[in-house]
Structure 1
Amino acid sequence: MTTPAIPTVLETAPMDPALAGFLAQAAAQGNPPLESLPPAIARQVYRELADTLGLPAPAIGKVKDISFPGPDGPLRLRAYSPDAAGPWPVLLYAHGGGFVIGDLETHDKVCRTLCHHSGMLVVAVDYRMAPEHPFPAAPDDVEAALRWVLANAAALGGDAGRIAVAGDSAGAQLALVASRRVNAKAVRALGLVYPVAQHPSQPSASYPENEGKFLTMGVMQWFMASYLGQQADADKHPDFALLDSGSLASLPATWVATMGHDPLRDEGHALALRVASAGVEVTHRHYPEAIHACIHFTAVSPVGLRVMTELAQWLRARV
């Protein structure tokens, strides 16, 4: 399949006015920085944000919680089935949240939306979080979930020969790492929404340009310190430093979304170019008016729903 070349210079545009208004209103409230909160409180803030700023989720077939033996004890999955006859292609989804916040609830609407628009069985993984469980707990868990899905898709009504993996932000990094570790022919597609690809100690130009546009340098430093802890050279490990180490040639066809007003914009763009240079089929979609985490803000602006719909359409065509 032929895909358009990835531009070396990204399109620019003013921020979506509704998103700009949301950020101005949030700043005026004077809430404490997320990184100043205990992790449990920060997680609750994220849950409430995702719940209140997202449109009601579309109707799907059914939702089922599952437990399976993970690397260090039971792990939870949540399976979202389409309202149609199976067997369905399967999407394993890893939520974002900086490896510290985020869970099945923060991304429930996201997974329902992807299930509805793609017609796929979506399986969300509730991987272990930092700082309680630092690197490499999260990639180990997502890898285990992918192996479990490959072995058990049919029991859920899925097609074990048609698997995709996707995630947003930190979850996008975990989705890529799991796909690379497992390297199964049945994994046909990889979806990355504003991925984390390098440590904020090596900030690209999009960091200072977009400071405070939902993401800040302070919160990213907190996320990475919590995730990587005091482990020597963990920030250079191939399962973290996606731009600097580890082969990407084994990845399946990959879809990468970047947002114009996101500190992670340039590293996501660089990752798309690096995956393409490894010989992988890459589709890069840039949303110049959007901010990080916009897939949660569908009641504020339509751009987040467009991101999810276009990812779902691409997955449906690829898997």
Structure 2
Amino acid sequence: MRRAIMAARERFPVPVVGVIEDAIAGFEGAHVPVRVYRPRDAQTGLPTVVFFHGGGFVLGSVELMDDIARKLCRDMNAVVVSADYRLAPEHPFPAAHDDALTVTLWAIRNVAALGGDATRVAVAGESAGGNLAASTALTLRDRGERLAAQLLVVPGVDLARDTSLIEAKRSDFPMLSPSDLRDISQLYMGLNPAQARIFPPSPLHAEDFTGLPPAVIAVAGHDPLCEEGLAYAERLGAAGVPVQVHWFEDMFHPFFGFFEASAAARRANNEICHAFAGWLQQYALPVTQ
């Protein structure tokens, strides 16, 4: 994966942003590496988006998903905090979940120093990162913390999913197969596979969806996770949470990072960024004194 991504980066330019700096997010004794992106000509009071990369909880890093974070920063004119959370199997659940929570709480507490606006702090994630974003939103709600919004791109929200049902409908999904999903769950859950049936780590199995931040959810037609992403949107909507679903019927699971290689993927990515930028304006939190 690393070789493929780095080879592609030699062929395509990365989106240009303003300032990029590596830092350590610390909260309540926990510390997680992060990379902070600020737009060109950045002012203060910008939206702040905490981003969790994809990779099935076992692959990826802030460096490998640098281009995605750059594009989010540029296209949404937002401060982006990309989390370098711990990976399985060396660090099984709840390591990534705990790291995601640490980074988000750090961003909330330091939003002014980051150049952000406290009324527009959001979480965003792709695939496994979508799980972490949704999980963070749920956990913060239970702690009495508020986020403006959440962006979930092809999220994996049910680690107890029945992959045999997916295979019965179709087994030839490009770049993410049902057998891949089984491996991901096993590697992430480690010695606690039964816990996959509850939240955390499976947001779809949470008991209460009320009071969660408004969500933009993007799903792909050629993706084994499509139905659970739609199911999560339905659960949120039924609980009165504002939800906007973007269904890209012709896209495959990791399309979000293919914006340079594919014109169709670029249009989809652009649509998501534009929608979430508007979402952050529409659902900014009330100003508190």
**TM-score with structure 2 setting the length:** 0.88
Is the 1:65–1:79 Cα contact (8 Å) retained in structure 2? yes
How many residues are matched?
274
- Corresponding letter in the other structure for 2:127: S
Question: What is the deviation of 1:70?
Answer: 5.7
Question: Any idea what the Cα deviations from partners look like across 1:71-124, whole Å, max 9, x if unmatched?
Answer: 775310100001122221100001111111111012100010011110000100
Shifted more, 242-251 versus 252-261: the winner is 242-251
Q: Which residue of 2 aligns with 1:51?
A: 6
Q: Which residue of 1 aligns with 2:284?
A: none
CA distance change for structure 1 residues 177 and 201 in 2, over 3 Å: closer, same or farther? Answer: closer
Q: Does 1:68 align with 2:25?
A: yes
1:156-235 mapped onto 2 (5 Å cutoff): 156-183=114-141, 186-199=146-159, 201-203=161-163, 206-207=166-167, 208-231=169-192, 233-235=194-196
Gaps of 5+ in 2: 281-289
Find runs of 4+ consecutive structure 1 residues off by over 6 angstroms: none
Is the 1:161–1:186 Cα contact (8 Å) retained in structure 2? no
Question: Any idea what the Cα deviations from partners look like across 1:155-213, whole Å, max 9, x if unmatched?
Answer: 11111221111000010010011111112665111000001021365137555525341
Q: Which residue of 2 aligns with 1:80?
A: 37
Is the 1:71–1:141 Cα contact (8 Å) retained in structure 2? no
* CA distance in structure 2 between the aligned counterparts of 1:211 and 1:199, rounded to whole angstroms: 20
Question: Any idea what the Cα deviations from partners look like across 1:259-306, whole Å, max 9, x if unmatched?
Answer: 011111111111111111111000000001100101222233123322
CA distance change for structure 1 residues 247 and 50 in 2, over 3 Å: closer, same or farther? Answer: farther
Q: State the percentage of identical aligned residues.
A: 32
CA distance change for structure 1 residues 150 and 219 in 2, over 3 Å: closer, same or farther? Answer: same
Q: Which residue of 1 aligns with 2:87?
A: 129
Shifted more, 54-63 versus 140-149: the winner is 54-63
CA distance change for structure 1 residues 218 and 72 in 2, over 3 Å: closer, same or farther? Answer: farther
For residue 90 of structure 1, the aligned residue among 36, 48, 63 is: 48
What is the SS of the residue equivalent to 1:103? coil
- Corresponding letter in the other structure for 1:77: V
Question: Any idea what the Cα deviations from partners look like across 1:20-53, whole Å, max 9, x if unmatched?
Answer: xxxxxxxxxxxxxxxxxxxxxxxxx2x3333344
For residue 313 of structure 1, the aligned residue among 271, 274, 280 is: 274
Question: What is the deviation of 1:66?
Answer: 0.4
* CA distance in structure 2 between the aligned counterparts of 1:306 and 1:185, rounded to whole angstroms: 34
- Corresponding letter in the other structure for 2:266: L
CA distance change for structure 1 residues 244 and 132 in 2, over 3 Å: closer, same or farther? Answer: same
* CA distance in structure 1 between the aligned counterparts of 2:161 and 2:253, rounded to whole angstroms: 19
- Corresponding letter in the other structure for 1:296: G
Q: Which residue of 2 aligns with 1:241?
A: 202
Q: Which residue of 2 aligns with 1:104?
A: 62
Is the 1:53–1:298 Cα contact (8 Å) retained in structure 2? no
Is the 1:88–1:157 Cα contact (8 Å) retained in structure 2? yes
Q: Which residue of 2 aligns with 1:30?
A: none
- Corresponding letter in the other structure for 1:160: A
* CA distance in structure 2 between the aligned counterparts of 1:252 and 1:201, rounded to whole angstroms: 24
**TM-score with structure 1 setting the length:** 0.80
* CA distance in structure 2 between the aligned counterparts of 1:175 and 1:307, rounded to whole angstroms: 20
CA distance change for structure 1 residues 204 and 275 in 2, over 3 Å: closer, same or farther? Answer: farther
Shifted more, 221-230 versus 71-80: the winner is 71-80
CA distance change for structure 1 residues 210 and 303 in 2, over 3 Å: closer, same or farther? Answer: farther
1:249-260 mapped onto 2 (5 Å cutoff): 249-260=210-221
Gaps of 5+ in 1: 1-44
